[in-house]
């Protein structure tokens, strides 16, 4: 359970960084800092579930597009997963969650930045784990 929660926390941090960099992507809700951190963590959990259950099906169905675009369609799939996460969190009673203004540019840029930030954070975590040993 520990690695899963750590991964969710890193995804939450990466999502927060994305909202700071990409205009048109924001975290909605939360009056206090603690509420905001909780909302970001829940968004990261939902994003993880979307990636675990929906993404493999979409990837399987889009194999021809992966081949034709030489793998660049992966960015569109990641943007779609962010879009689905934003749609799920928008349906809450209090209207908190991830907000993406436009799929084509905002979600695409968010997917690119999220991939890069997640990669950097995983490198930092791996190096920190190596130093700790």
Q: Cβ(30)–Cβ(38) under 8 Å?
A: yes
Is the pLDDT assigned to residue 6 strictly greater than 90?
no
First-to-last CA distance in the chain? 21
* 21-66 residue pLDDT tens: 999 999 998 889 999 999 999 999 999 999 999 999 999 999 999 9
**Cβ contacts of 2 within 8 Å, gap of 6 or more:** none
Percentage of residues of the chain with pLDDT beyond 70: 94
What gap in Å lies between CA 69 and CA 71, rounded to an integer?
5
Does residue 128 register a pLDDT over 70? no
* Res. 101: pLDDT tops 80: yes
């Amino acid at each position: 359970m520990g690695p899963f929660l750590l991964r969710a926390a890193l995804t939450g941090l990466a999502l927060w960084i994305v909202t700071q960099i990409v205009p048109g992507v924001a975290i909605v809700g939360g009056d206090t800092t603690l509420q905001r951190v909780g909302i970001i963590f829940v968004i990261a959990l939902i994003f993880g579930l979307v990636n675990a259950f929906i993404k493999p099906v979409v990837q399987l169905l889009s194999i021809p597009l992966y081949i034709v675009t030489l793998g660049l369609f992966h960015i569109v799939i990641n943007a779609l997963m962010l879009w689905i996460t934003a749609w799920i969190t928008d349906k809450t009673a209090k209207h908190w969650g991830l907000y993406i203004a436009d799929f084509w540019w905002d979600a695409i840029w968010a997917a690119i930045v999220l991939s890069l930030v997640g990669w950097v954070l995983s490198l930092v975590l791996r190096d920190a784990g190596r130093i700790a040993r």
